[in-house]
Amino acid sequence: MKFKSLLLAGSALLTGTAASAGGYQVTLAGQKNNGMGGVGVGLSLDQAAMFYNPGALAMVKDRGIQLGVNATLARNAFVAEGSNQQRELRNSITTPLNFYAGFGPAEGKFRAGIAVYTPFGSKLQYADGWEGRTSLTDIDLKSIFVQPTVSYAISDKLSVGAGLVVLAYGAVNLQRDVPLPDGFGHVELDGKADTKLGFNAGIFFKPSEKLSLGINYRSKIDAVVKDGDVTFTGIPATFSSRFEATKFGATLPLVATTSVGIGIMPTENLTIGFDVNLAQWSKYRTLRFDFDKQVNGSTVSESRREYQDALTFRLGGQYKLTSGLTLRAGGSYDESPVKDGFVTPETPDNDRLSGTLGASYAFGKFGVDLSAQYVSIKKRTQTQQELLNNGTTDRIAGTYKTNIVIPGIGLNYTF
């Protein structure tokens, strides 16, 4: 047995099957934006600008507080190469959250705020006894990012902003079965990531009442687990000397993203946004795990990833139907960073197409935001020959198909 395959699942560290973007990137950061295909870089809709473009925060007219939650319901099907039996995930739901509070003088040029969001997190539970059980059986991933933000309007047309991004909390639990001559054992990895810092900065330009432009850059943060726990169960005493590790360490790059956006306001009630995002996935080449003691004769495990940079295109709009009711719709096309022959069970990724709907109703200073997304990930097949050619036999050959439904709700208060 090659222990190289033990932590194939570790590429999901603080990640998993992303709900609305390729690789392990998640962009469920604002309820209004979610209903508009995820656009926001070239718009100044509300306090969620802290995530999409901090430079636009100074142009948000109202100060306010908002809280949102989404539920990701994924259906994943897998058919192994040479088989006609379809395996499906056990049911699981994740609930990405977002919170924003924006402050500043009512007539001033300065805005400040705090953002809390969950850009990475997932839960996957494959069917008992599935063909890839020695690569992965379960993942449970959690993360919380905190971003204090400042924004300043240099003029009535130009503003800039930046936020300090803090990986405040991250936890990962990965499990798989261990093949033995007369059966299977089980291994569980459980760890917490160190607190790490990055930044989120942007520029917002509104040359007229009908046009706005934005550019945003979010830096890379390395998610580092230094002292995670390794637990083996069901290993017979005759093999226990080969599985001695109790601790592991690993580093995963949470890659940098550059985004540009355009906002068009043909009328006072209609807003249209278009964004292009470039995720620098090519920084993710190899996943390495270091263990305190030997596991099947080695204290190091490496697995090739060889990701490539990927683009996402987003288009969406909103229409203010009445003084209280606003309707939204949008969509996106997301390139996968995963090359052929490098697909893993924890990220059965491919190019994806999303459609979104949303609505808001405001009554006084209070408001409710609703959103819904449908994400279709293109069917992805990799063959055993591809795995052999790439030296990636630490994963399984077969066909994956994933669809995701994401309802969301938010509450907001302006002052």
d(CA 41, CA 278): 13
> What residues form DSSP beta bridges with 274?
262, 315
Neighbours of 214 (CB within 10 A): 29
d(CA 18, CA 122): 7
Least confident of 67-71, 264-268, 340-344: 340-344
Contact of 254 with 219, CB cutoff 8 Å: no
Residue 12 has pLDDT above 70, yes or no: no
> What residues form DSSP beta bridges with 94?
72
E-strand stretches of 181-235: 183-192, 196-208, 211-218, 221-233
DSSP output for 306-368: ----EEEEEEEEEEE-SSSEEEEEEEEEE---PPTT--BTTB----EEEEEEEEEEEETTEEE
Average pLDDT of the residues in 15-31: 65
Least confident of 3-17, 250-264, 304-318: 3-17
- pLDDT at site 367: 97
> In the structure, what pLDDT confidence band is assigned to residue 9 with cuts at 50, 70 and 90?
very low
Q: Between β-strands 366-382 and 325-334, what pairing exists: parallel, antiparallel or unpaired?
A: unpaired
- pLDDT at site 22: 57
Range of the domain at 97: 3-414
Domain tally for the chain? 1
123 compared with 44, residue with greater pLDDT: 44
Contact of 384 with 132, CB cutoff 8 Å: no
Average pLDDT of the residues in 145-160: 97
Quick one: what percent of the chain has pLDDT higher than 70? 93
Residue 281 has pLDDT above 50, yes or no: yes
- pLDDT at site 396: 87
| Residue 330 CA: distances (Å) to CA of 108, 125, 252, 368 | 33, 30, 32, 19
Average pLDDT of the residues in 52-68: 96
Residue 385 has pLDDT above 70, yes or no: yes
> In the structure, what pLDDT confidence band is assigned to residue 16 with cuts at 50, 70 and 90?
very low
222 compared with 314, residue with greater pLDDT: 314
Query: pLDDT tens across 364-382, in order?
Result: 999 999 999 999 988 999 9
Helix (H, G, I), strand (E, B) or coil at 172: strand
How much of the chain is in helix, strand and coil states, percent to nearest 5? Answer: 10, 55, 35
Q: Residue holding tokens 């995820």? A: 38
Average pLDDT of the residues in 12-41: 73
Residues in the chain: 415
- pLDDT at site 6: 40
Query: pLDDT tens across 102-148, in order?
Result: 999 988 899 999 999 987 777 778 888 888 888 888 878 778 899 99
- pLDDT at site 91: 64
Residue 242 has pLDDT above 90, yes or no: no
- pLDDT at site 365: 94
- pLDDT at site 268: 94
d(CA 97, CA 31): 10
Nearest to 33, CA basis, from 15, 24, 21: 21
- pLDDT at site 283: 86
Nearest to 62, CA basis, from 107, 116, 115, 117: 107
Contact of 35 with 357, CB cutoff 8 Å: yes
DSSP at 383: -
Average pLDDT of the residues in 177-205: 92
Residue 17 has pLDDT above 70, yes or no: no
- pLDDT at site 150: 98
Helix (H, G, I), strand (E, B) or coil at 3: helix
Residue 179 has pLDDT above 90, yes or no: no
Residue type present at position 24: Y
Helix (H, G, I), strand (E, B) or coil at 182: coil
Average pLDDT of the residues in 14-28: 58
CATH of the domain at 316: 2.40.160.60
What value does the mean pLDDT of the chain take? 88
Residue 249 has pLDDT above 80, yes or no: yes
Query: pLDDT tens across 309-360, in order?
Result: 999 999 999 999 999 999 999 999 999 998 888 888 777 788 999 999 999 9
Residue 165 has pLDDT above 90, yes or no: yes
- pLDDT at site 19: 55
